Amino acid sequence: MQLGMYLAGLIEERRKNPGDDMLSQLATAKGQDGPMTTMELLSTAALLLIAGHETTVNLITNGMLTLLRNPDVLQRLRNEPRLAVPLVEELLRYEPPVQLLPQRTTLADIEVRGVTIPKGATLWLVLASGNRDPRRFENPDRFDPDRQDIQHLGLGSGIHSCFGAPLARLEAQLALSELARRLENPRLLDDPPPYRRNAVLRGPRRLRIACDGIRA
């Protein structure tokens, strides 16, 4: 079944029998401009699914790949679970799941370092490149969870900054801490692993890991 048809059915179902989930609340909300139309609900639901799922899957997979390439940091995470908080911030800088934003248009002439970008120009914002800018970050190609200056672009910024950032951070912190704690002697079977063919959303298609056991 196509995503649109599936979501349309779910929206109708939630309108008739609302539960305490987000879609029910969106479907029954009486906002200041009145209830959302079916098209508005469909595009919002699709945005949340795409923006909220593949991105987080990639953050966790990019995270495990980076930890297996930095076994000293993996060991630290086992010993200090609270390291998960700064570690996930550094991951969002170092291996951002959203590499670029290809849909910006200038509303006026903008000057950037002496270069004028004319009004109406189409911009691709390459967040991943900004996150590795040596004029902004010391040793940008080094993965360092102790990095103090960690204001990255991984979750966007300004009026469109990520709506789901708290959830994404929490999911990645919990998943990576648990993987570190439970997998005994994990090691990569493919390095580099095969990647999804997607320039915007970066992450491995699969990450094969061998281990000696799984702790309870």
Query: Which residues of the shown chain bind ligand HEM in the complex (CB under 6 A)?
Result: 47-48, 51-52, 55-56, 59, 97-98, 101, 154-156, 160, 162-164, 167-168
Question: Among residues 48 and 209, whose Cβ is nearest to ligand HEM?
Answer: 48
Q: At its nearest, how many Å lie between ligand HEM and the CB of residue 138?
A: 23
Dihedral Cα 159, 163, 166, 171, nearest 10 deg: -140
Distance CA 193, CA 96 (A): 16
Query: Which residue bears the tokens 């599936």?
Result: 6
Question: Among residues 140 and 156, whose Cβ is nearest to ligand HEM?
Answer: 156
Q: What is the distance between the terminal CA atoms of the chain, rounded to a whole angstrom? A: 38
Residue of minimal CB distance from ligand HEM?
164
What SS3 state is found at 117? strand
Distance CA 124, CA 130 (A): 12
Q: At its nearest, how many Å lie between ligand HEM and the CB of residue 114?
A: 25
Q: At its nearest, how many Å lie between ligand HEM and the CB of residue 215?
A: 26
Q: At its nearest, how many Å lie between ligand HEM and the CB of residue 179?
A: 16
Question: Among residues 47 and 121, whose Cβ is nearest to ligand HEM?
Answer: 47
Q: At its nearest, how many Å lie between ligand HEM and the CB of residue 135?
A: 21
Distance CA 185, CA 64 (A): 13
Question: Among residues 165 and 189, whose Cβ is nearest to ligand HEM?
Answer: 165
Question: Among residues 145 and 154, whose Cβ is nearest to ligand HEM?
Answer: 154
70-108 CB burial, b ≥16 within 10 A, e <16: beebbebbeeebebbebbbbbbbbbbbbbbbeeeeeeee
The crossing angle, in degrees rounded to 10, of helices 84-94 and 71-79 is 150
DSSP, res 145: T
Q: At its nearest, how many Å lie between ligand HEM and the CB of residue 160?
A: 3
Question: Among residues 58 and 183, whose Cβ is nearest to ligand HEM?
Answer: 58
